[in-house]
Structure 1
Amino acid sequence: LAIFNEIFLTSSAVLWRVCVNSGSNSFASPTPRRCFVSCPSYKTLVCLSALLLLGVQLLRAEVTAGVLGTVVDPSGAAVSGATVVLRNPDTGLQRRAKTNESGEYEFLAVPVGEKYSVQAEAKGFEKSVQSGIKLVLNQKYRADFKLVVGAVTETVEVTGATAQVDTTNTQLGDVIENKKMTSLPLNGRSYIDLLGLQAGVVPISSEGAIADRKVSGNGDSGQVSVNGQRESANSFLVNGGDVEESVDNGASIVPTLDSIQEFRLLTNSFNAEYGRFSGAIVNVLTKSGTNEIHGSVYEFLRNEKLDARSYFDQERGDFKRNQFGGTIGAPVVKNKLFFFGDYQGTREVRGVSSGLINVPSVLERSGDFSELTDDFTGTVRGNDDPTVDPNRTNFPFVLTQRLGYTVATDEPYWFPGCTTTDPTTGCVFPGANGPVIPQSAWSPVALATLKFIPTPNIASGGFSTTAEKLNLRDEKFGAKVDFNTAHLGNWSAYYHFDDANFLNPYPEVFAPKVPGFSAVTLSRAQQYQVSNTAILNPNTVNEVRLNYTRFAFLKNKPVGGLGKIEDFGYFRADAAHPLGVLPTNSKYEGVAIITLANTGVEFGLPDGTTGQYNNTYQITDNFSKVTGKHTLKFGGDIRYIQVNERNTYTSNGWFEFDGGETGNDFADFLLGAPDFFNQTSPQLLDSRTKYFGLYGQDTYKARSDLTINYGLRWDTSQPFYDTKNRIQTFVPGVQSKIYPDSPRGFVFPGDPGVPGTLAPTQYNRFAPRLGIAYSPGVSDGLAGKIFGGPGKTSIRVGGGIYYTAIEDLTLFNEVGDAPFGLFWVSPSPVYLEEPYKRRVGQPDPAGNRFPFTIPAPGATGIWAKYLPIAYAPGYNLHNKLPYAEHFNLTIQREIAKSAVLSIGYVGSRGRHLLSTVESNPGDPTKCLATPGCDTFGEDTIYFDSNNLPIAFGTRPYSVTSGRELNKTTGIGSLDFQNNAWESTSANSTYNALQTSLEKNVGNLRLLAAYTWSKSIDNSSGFYDPINPFNPSLSRALSTFDVAHNFVVSYSYDLPFARAAHGVQGKLLSGWTISGITRFNTGFPVTLTEDDDNSLCGCSGADVPNYNGQPIHFLDPRKSGNLFFDPSPFSPEALGTVGNAKRRFFHGPGINNWDLAFHKNTRIGERMALEFRAEFFNLFNHAQFMNPGSVVGEVNGSLGQVTSARDGRIGQMALKLSF
């Protein structure tokens, strides 16, 4: 045995070393190889082999249930030594146990199922049997017996209850089983949409603080807030295996609805066996085969003829969806070997609403701005002195050449009464009624790309359409094999495959929806799993699980808008035009991104094309033992996660027009005068992390009515790192040794004190858990009436500490930054058609920044092309592992047969949560003291009348010490601009009153939940920055706060055919109504202020002023689409911080009814045909999205709603079950 043990240890160690050190996958392009996501590589096989060997030697999320109880005699005295037998005829399972001296017994790790029976017998007593018992995931079912004196040959049988008060478990959460899942109306048929049925769960994602990274063909990755935890803090498991997508922390594997046996959602104070995340634990258990062949075949159909148009749509969009598939389970060897398989295909084509967007009028498209004369406040920028600009590249010279008459520096573009082009007395574009820009003055890019901006098609002057089509093809299948052996335990193997192709006409979620720039997203998700449950003796069980999940996708691969840049008016960078555009990825060459910030129009290829390849290797083990009054559990969880990124962002450039030239953004576009230009190199990242968790836990039955759960977990979650150290951070005053002439303060992994991970790995993180469950057993008097007797009431209190992993999104945010990539932002105004040519000031001495290659460590003389570093995100070297404190006090009471009412207080506190803080903010006092400084002036070099500098911007780390100023030209070196620091400095609090009522016996089955809660934080996620001067100013409602949330799901069997027979009975029988009804307040409105009046340069952290008047809410249907009166809000005074809380009132709520009508017709004894008609938003309520919330926008939409959720939707289906 010692030699055998040593072989296992040595083999597993060698294989694991090969697994983690054999180098990362490399890719020539972001397009996945055909075999890459379907064929195991050498490294994959090595890692799985290592995991198998480690699993045998080592050693967890539970995917089983348990049965426990007490056996007593007629007087209530314990019966010790009684024999208790657990049986399941579906699988042939039979297990025996003996009661202890207290008459107690327990069966551990029992497979979930619906037809269990428990039998108790003892000498001198009749046998007693409880049948029809349903065991659900992670549940301890209580089957108590009071034996009757008599012969053992006599049997007393009762039917087991289907709902019980939980008298032993202090975890909060519930199980949703297959019958409920498949009976409720679901648009898209994903279990993810059922998470919101439970108390404490926000029904949908706010999408306000996370990136948009939808996965799977379902398009929903389950990022919702649970009990105040962040939307990225949930753990998703399938059959106990980790299926997390590691960048945004959503679910990458979503099994088909008909293949799921049930899922359990744990929401607060869960046991020590769960770790790595502080939010909900979502554990999905898939079906297994049984001794009988069973299955289903189905098809669900949607068609626009059953739908109503959404509120803002001008017409009802096309919609056709077919979801078809089936399941089959069967015995291979009766009572021993079982198989279950499933398949689902989805085909969808639908017209997607653009919503209501503002577009230039027909007059404006011709160059006539007589309707917008107030906008034209600008004067011509640039120098018209040929001695200063001998090459005549400044804008006055270019306009003179285009127009054929002289244009001078500082000449007004237009003023009332201007009718002459004289540069001293007139204006650039004279006109009695307003400025008219002739086409001769237009940029060649504007001439070529104006066609991409839609013309108005509604009376208000806006644009809306549903003509653009979304196309989805999704293929899913799964297979599961279960093998029950007498000596080697019960084995289970599972495989899931999901391949999706998704063509989206509007791939940019947060940009206005302009047609013509569709993109495709390709994804493939797979899960491989093997597990073993060994019954070592009736009181001892060991479970080991090996899991491998692979998720690969290519997001937003452009389809529309591709072509040669010359075809769109740009100059290609070559010998003739060295300052033109050089696309950084020739595969995605096409229309650059054009943003008209004030008008509200954006068009061009998608902002980013992302290739991601995610591998998760996992081994878990759990050892359970019942000894006396204690049920002990010990276990461990090891995970190794790889995430490779191959991204293309703004490959052709991104131009933003703010009206900085003429005063009108669209006029600036016609002239080719952007305020902002950005171009980015391809971004490469090979990130890794390791996780180790160990725990011990005891469920102590102190008395028959008192159970204490306590445990301790050790969580070591290594922050992500890049295998090639391509990340950076910012430490003021420190000079890097890796890149010796980098700007002072820019440091890299390998520099003294700089770790390769996003934070030092912390090995001393212990998470205690404690819960107490008290079930008063009193039956008499007033107390008996209150508590109902034994097992009818439970008072539970629980709490603990829960650490959560830092998502890879943080490392993803740093990918491609200097010097490992080039994120170039022009420090001076440039030309649209030739963006490396400045139209104001001296030529850029560094010229075109592309092509680009990553310099080797130690390289010098490389920094000219990077400066100024426009965006330098870094991680705080002192970051800590985020965690949450959970606590709850709940009371459960059985108020009728199989009807349980729960009411309780649930709370949580988040600490050391990750956010971003600007580490290089502008100094408003310095700006106010500098002549000429104004908004967005943090990165400007200011000069005196002698052309000598008086300020190198207003940020504390704008210029590197020792850099020389060019005294001749007055051009200085601004090294750093925005430095977003990734810091674990956020915190949160959550308090809630939660109630629920569950009934699942009889004609009516329902689950109702109401939550009254408040969630407060100073940052709701990575993209919700904290004010750098005073973090307390950012404290406000969470983006996902929903104050009131009521939801009820129900199913009612109509009693039409109780007295009917024959044909009439067939027609009237089998009718069921089911539905989900929801009423909740909306998400908070996040107020922002985009004119930089704070002089901070802190994007996203500025808030407006609020005069304190009560918010006047309006009905958008009666107020010109206004949801609230915007008059109490105004931009803050220059150089000050606004006084408004950034979130203190809520947007439109939800009043929604989803209803399904079912007709089940029996066909023989073993078959049934179901017809169903489902309607979502049955009453066609206008469900508005949050209103505009940016204060100070020109032509802004503050308080105005511009989009709504779907109107009424219909779906029909047929399903054959056997």
Structure 2
Amino acid sequence: MVNGGSAAVPSDAMLSGNFSSYLTGKTSNACGTGGPSNLTFDTGQVFDPDTARFFPCPAGSANAGQQVVVKTPFAGNQIPTSRFSPISLKFEDVLPRSSDPFGVVTLAGRAASQDYKEFTIKPDWYLSPNHHISGRVFYDHFSHPLYTGNGNALLADRSWTAPFENYGGNWLWTIRPTLLNNVIISYNRLNTFSQAGFKTKDNKPVCFACFGVNVAEYPTTSPGIDWLSVGPWSEFNLAQNTNAINRHNVSIADTVNWTHGKHMVVAGVNVLKQYWFEGTDWLALPLISFNGQFTGVDFADFLLGKASEFEQGAGEFNEVNGTSWAGFVQDTIRLKPNFTLNIGARWEPFFAFTPTRGRIPVFEPGVQSTRYAKAPTGLVYPGDPGVPSKGTPNDLSVISPRISIAWQPKFLGNTSVRSAFGSFAAPFEMSFYNHAADTAPFSPTFDFQPTTTGGPVVPGGTPIPFADPWSVFAPTGGKSPFPPFASPNYTPPGSVEFIKPVFVQTSFAPSFKIGRVQTWNLSIEHQFGGNILARVAYVGSESYHLPNPIERNPGIYSTDANVNGLRVLHPDFGSILEYDSWVTASYNALQMTFEKKFSHGLQFNSNFTWSKSIDSASSSSLAFNGSIPNPFNLEFNRGISSLNYPRIWNNFWVYQLPGLTHSNPFSRAVLGGWEFSGIWRLQSGDPFSIADGTDPSQSHIGADRADVVPGQSLNVHQGSKSEWLDKYFNSAAFQRAAPGTFGNSGRNILQGPGVNNVDMGLSKNFPFKEHFRVQFRWEMFNAFNRATFDNPNASVTSGSFGRITSTKGSGAGYEQGLFGYPPRVMQAALKFYW
């Protein structure tokens, strides 16, 4: 079952040109307090973007001396429908209709087909008492058919196929009773492929070019849409394309275990070889966004066909491989019968992955490439003097010590005290190279906003026409540079031309280093009687030098309209996204555990965590996020982590009903021996920030936060359920950020609705003959069918600001079952044992 949800689309009233629902009764003045009365308008006023002009604020106004952009309002918030974009109206044909004042629509759930074909083989071979060889073969073929949504693009779902293979072998050699050697070899292969499911009501493809947008799209993949987003909080977005990803891993681990007197020494080596290929029409299908910056309302911008951002590239083809290895040694020393010390160290040199054919850029201001002589100064590549072949240098100095103790105080029977400290290398993922090849000359990408089109200065920026986005981009002469598109094996000649400005999608700073994590803990554990255990623990960690992308060439705000928003730091470049090792993170938690071991038919486990997590960024990879909001002040982003869940309480139980051994055979078979199990999870909600929704900083990063309104309380999660769904927090506590700023509200200052979920299972074994039995199992996920709500709309410029309109993981896509809390799912199974 795919969970239902909700979204927002242009309402029936909006489609008739009526945007009066956005009028609030509150006013603001373009020049601030004391501004001319003819510039005072309702905060929900819709303006005519074709009338934009500069206006110098007069003396006596809050913005005196500044030039502001003013526009003529649409009377009564009524827009002539004759001005609507034919392209936008074609997309309306694949969107649902809504009578809600702000266009909210409910998306019905549906039955979903997910097919798993899998098997497992586990051979076991004792060659001799000293040699034991075992193996494992696991195969799983997942498939998920596309769903067209019957002409509703918000319900459409992409297809997926994902065959996975795992082969493993283990050789345990007992050299002598005190000396063991264990070798583990494994191979994994995962190949995935997906295609878009968008179709019109008459089963025709949905894509930008299909609906008349003047763009070229990748010629050999099925039609789709990489990204169409309306609203700063994605009132609705369409995003499905063609992806092919292959991952192959080989790992070898050899461990020696030696016991001698009070010592147990373990030493070993781990080697991991990884390969990753990604072929996709990502970016070859354009990305188009509407944020409401021209009229004041996102849906009005969309219907008028005036986009706020356009991005297109030549396609994404990444091939990356690498080998990492580590050696370790540790010694467990039983110093006293009640005191054990464990010390060890791990040497884990950092070897970056290698993109094939040197398909990764490096940003070195002032340096001219010799590999590609026509590249702009500052853009170099592997093969140029001093440039690492992997885009970033190796580091052999990664040594991680660790120490722990276990103590059983003699004066406290059945009590143990444990404490540990360890240093670890943060994982370095292949996804860091996800967009490495999406830069000229391998796969040129172009991204422009209203103030970076390279054309004449237009008050408020040049609207990007939905019907012909490239027509306003001066560097290409108003024409699309595509085709040609990229291909997996393309190696550009050294004389290749570059179109400026060049967009650098992924690079590594010269100072890049692998992140480090330090963890420590202290726990006290006490056993009551023979089957009850209680534990209390403090757990902490501190992380340093974690990688995160930074925009090295942001737009710069200026009161001079001729340069406002231009990327003046490096004019030959557009966006420059560069990984640097600057993020810090901390975690501190109180953890409490109560365990009842299985006895008298009952097993129970309860874990409670009270914690706080603070960081500067919670996700490292450009595959999942972009630059931090304010590249000029890294501390601006330090705050509550997106992974901060202050309270988590998990409970697990198994209860075995009496077997009724003294009852008649029928009662024993039907009523006796049932086993009832369950998991109950309570958790705090997801933290979130309040977004401005536009780009007041003119940095073109698009993550500016709102300003706080002094004196207003937040009033989070107040009133009845219907009240807090409609108004989760006091929306009057926030306002648009001041021009030229990134907003003054903190990061993740609010917490969304929590989780209260119960899964249950009921099972029974039915024995027959002497060696056979059948197990019946019935399971319910989200047994009480409780809705787990998503965060509210958190953009001050959205018509549904502060409203909760969806549940976690709602909408189309099999991913909702993985990352969300779908409606009650029940399944039954029979297993035969012999």
Under TM normalisation by the shorter chain, which class is it?
Answer: 0.7 to 0.9
Aligned identity (percent) is 25
Which of 543, 560, 568 is the equivalent residue of 1:955? 568
* TM-superposed deviation, 1:909: 1.0
Measure, in 2, the Cα distance between the counterparts of 1:914 and 1:1012: 27
Quick check: 1:1050 aligned with 2:694? no
- TM, length-normalised to structure 2: 0.84
Could you tell me how far 1:377 is from its partner in structure 2? 0.9
Structure-2 residue corresponding to 1:1211: 827
Could you tell me which of 677, 692, 708 is aligned with 2:341? Answer: 708
Separation in 2, partners of 1:557, 1:593? 12
Deviations 1:1020-1064 (A, max 9, x none): 112274432222221111111111111110111223736534433
User: 1:708 deviation in Å?
Assistant: 1.1
Q: Which residue of 2 aligns with 1:278?
A: none
Deviations 1:1147-1185 (A, max 9, x none): 111222222333444334433444444333333433212
Q: Which amino acid aligns with 2:569?
A: P
Q: SS at 1:1135's partner residue?
A: coil
Structure 1: gaps spanning 5 or more residues: 1-349, 384-409, 418-432, 508-512, 572-579, 939-952, 960-974
Structure 2 counterpart of 1:1162, from 760, 764, 767: 767
State which structure, 1 or 2, has the greater radius of gyration over its C-alpha atoms.
Answer: 1
- Give the aligned partner of residue 598 of structure 2: 1001
Once residues 603 and 989 of structure 1 are traced to their aligned partners in structure 2, the CA distance between those partners, rounded to angstroms, is: 34
Q: Is the 8 A contact 2:209 2:217 kept in 1?
A: no
Structure-2 residue corresponding to 1:538: 177
The 5 Å alignment of 1:755-1154 reads: 755-776=388-409, 778=410, 783=411, 787-788=412-413, 792-826=414-448, 827=453, 829-838=463-472, 844-845=476-477, 847-852=479-484, 859-860=494-495, 862-864=497-499, 867-870=500-503, 872-924=505-557, 927-928=558-559, 930-931=560-561, 937-938=564-565, 953-957=566-570, 959=571, 975-1002=572-599, 1003-1022=601-620, 1023=625, 1025-1026=627-628, 1027-1055=630-658, 1057=660, 1060-1100=663-703, 1102=705, 1104-1105=707-708, 1107=710, 1109-1113=712-716, 1114=718, 1115-1154=720-759
Sort the Cα spacing of 1:725 and 1:1116 in 2 relative to 1 into closer, same or farther, 3 A. farther
Output the CA distance in 2 between the equivalents of 1:903 and 1:552.
Answer: 44
Q: Is 1:480–1:492's contact at 8 Å kept on the other side of the alignment?
A: yes
Q: CA deviation at 1:1110?
A: 4.5
Residue deviations 1:822-878, cap 9 Å, x none?
A: 22234254443333323xx979526321112568566346123xx233454321111
Q: Which of 522, 528, 543 is the aligned partner of 2:167?
A: 528
Q: Deviations over 1:7-57 (max 9, x none)?
A: xxxxxxxxxxxxxxxxxxxxxxxxxxxxxxxxxxxxxxxxxxxxxxxxxxx
Per the alignment, do residues 693 and 566 of structure 1 end up closer, same or farther by CA in structure 2, a change over 3 Å counting?
A: closer
From the superposition, tell whether residues 1079 and 545 of structure 1 become closer, same or farther in structure 2 (CA, over 3 Å): same
Q: Distance in 2 between matches of 1:628 and 1:820?
A: 61
**Alpha-carbon separation, structure 2, partners of 1:1171 and 1:1036:** 49
**Which of residues 116, 119, 138 is equivalent to 1:474?**
116
Q: CA deviation at 1:1017?
A: 0.6
Higher alpha-carbon deviation: 681-690 or 355-364: 355-364
User: Which of 334, 351, 354 is the aligned partner of 1:718?
Assistant: 351
- Kindly provide the amino acid, as one letter, of the partner of residue 622 in structure 1: T
Between the aligned partners of 2:89 and 2:361, the Cα distance in structure 1 is 42
Question: 2:148 and 2:509 mapped to 1: Cα distance?
Answer: 36
Correspondence 1:684 to 2:317: yes
Query: By how many angstroms is 1:1070 displaced?
Result: 0.7
Separation (CA, whole Å) in 2 of partners of 1:478 and 1:594: 42
CA 1:1200–1:368 in structure 2 vs 1: closer, same or farther (change >3 Å)? Answer: closer
What do residues 951-974 of structure 1 show as CA deviations (whole Å, max 9, x unaligned)?
A: xx25312x2xxxxxxxxxxxxxxx
Tell me which of 486, 489, 494 is aligned to 2:136: 494
Contact 2:166 2:188 in 1 (8 A): yes
What is the CA–CA distance in structure 2 between the aligned matches of 1:843 and 1:483, rounded to whole Å?
68
The residue that corresponds to 1:360 in the other structure is 10
In the other structure, the counterpart of 1:416 is 75
Contact 2:265 2:331 in 1 (8 A): yes
| Structure 2 residue identity aligned to 1:793 | T
Aligned in 2, Cα 1:846/1:1140: closer, same or farther, shift over 3 Å?
A: closer
User: In the comparison of the two structures, how many residue pairs are matched?
Assistant: 759
Supply the AA of the counterpart residue of 1:617. V
- What is the alpha-carbon distance in structure 1 between the residues aligned to residue 70 and residue 326 of structure 2? 69
| Secondary structure of residue in 2 paired with 1:1082 | coil
Q: Provide the C-alpha distance between the structure 1 equivalents of 2:827 and 2:266, rounded to a whole number of angstroms.
A: 47
Contact 1:458/1:464, CA 8 A, preserved across alignment: no
Correspondences of 1:309-388 after superposition (within 5 Å): 350-353=1-4, 355-367=5-17, 375-380=45-50
- Following superposition, the deviation at residue 470 of structure 1 comes to 3.1
Could you tell me how far 1:885 is from its partner in structure 2?
Answer: 0.7
- Over 3 Å counting, the alpha-carbon distance change for 1:594 and 1:1207 in structure 2 is closer
Instruction: Say if 2:272 is the partner of 1:643.
Output: no
**Structure 2 residue identity aligned to 1:360:** P
Report the CA distance shift for 1:1135/1:1015 in structure 2 as closer, same or farther (over 3 A). Answer: same
Distance 2:308 2:577 in 1: 22
Where structure 2 has 5 or more consecutive residues not aligned to the other structure, the ranges are 24-43, 54-68, 454-461, 809-820
8 A Cα contact 2:447 2:503, kept in partner: yes
Matched, 1:435 2:79: yes
Change beyond 3 A, Cα 1:1177–1:352: closer
2:797 to 1193, 1196, 1200: 1193
Q: Alpha carbon RMSD of aligned pairs, Å?
A: 3.1
> What secondary structure does 2:510 align onto?
coil
Is the alpha carbon distance of 1:890 and 1:376 closer, same or farther for their aligned partners in structure 2, counting shifts above 3 Å?
Answer: closer
The one-character-per-residue Cα deviations of 1:1199-1218 (angstroms, maximum 9, x if unpaired) are 53532543444334444444
- Letter matched to residue 543 of structure 1: N
Alpha-carbon distance between aligned partners in 1 of 2:776 and 2:180, rounded to the nearest angstrom? 44
Q: Work out whether residues 542 and 624 of structure 1, in 8 Å CA contact, stay in contact via their aligned partners in 2.
A: yes
Could you tell me whether the CA contact under 8 Å between 1:1086 and 1:1142 is conserved in 2?
yes
Matched-pair contact (CA < 8 Å) for 1:814–1:874: yes
- Correspondences of 1:69-108 after superposition (within 5 Å): none
| Contact map agreement 2:17 2:78 (CA 8 A) in 1 | no
CA distance in 1, matches of 2:261, 2:279: 56
Question: What are the equivalent positions in structure 2 for 1:289-300 lying under 5 Å apart?
Answer: none
Identify the structure with bigger relative contact order (alpha carbons < 8 Å, sequence gap 6+): 1
Q: Match of 1:794, SS? A: strand
Paired residue secondary structure (2:749) = coil
Once the two structures are superposed, the pairs formed by residues 546-585 of structure 1 within 5 Å of their partners are 546-558=185-197, 560=199, 563=205, 568-570=210-212, 580-585=214-219
Query: 1:1178 aligns to what?
Result: 783
Q: In 2, are the aligned partners of 1:445 and 1:672 still within 8 Å (CA)? A: yes
The CA distance in 2 between the partners of 1:1091 and 1:814, in whole Å, is 28
Preserved contact between residue 738 and residue 857 of structure 1 (Cα < 8 Å): no
Q: 1:903 to 1:877 in 2, by over 3 A?
A: same
Supply the distance in 2 between the matched residues of 1:382 and 1:832 (Cα, whole angstroms): 19
> How far did residue 351 of structure 1 move?
4.4
Distance 1:844 1:660, change over 3 A: farther
- Distance (whole Å) between structure 2 residues aligned to residue 1096 and residue 714 of structure 1: 41
| 2:358 match: secondary structure | coil
Determine the C-alpha separation between the residues in 2 that align with 1:1180 and 1:739. 60
- Write out per-residue CA displacement over residues 734-768 of structure 1, whole angstroms, 9 at most, x where no aligned residue: 22222222222222122233212243111111111
8 Å CA contact retained: 1:1126, 1:1199: no
Cα distance between partner residues in 2 of 1:497 and 1:803: 32
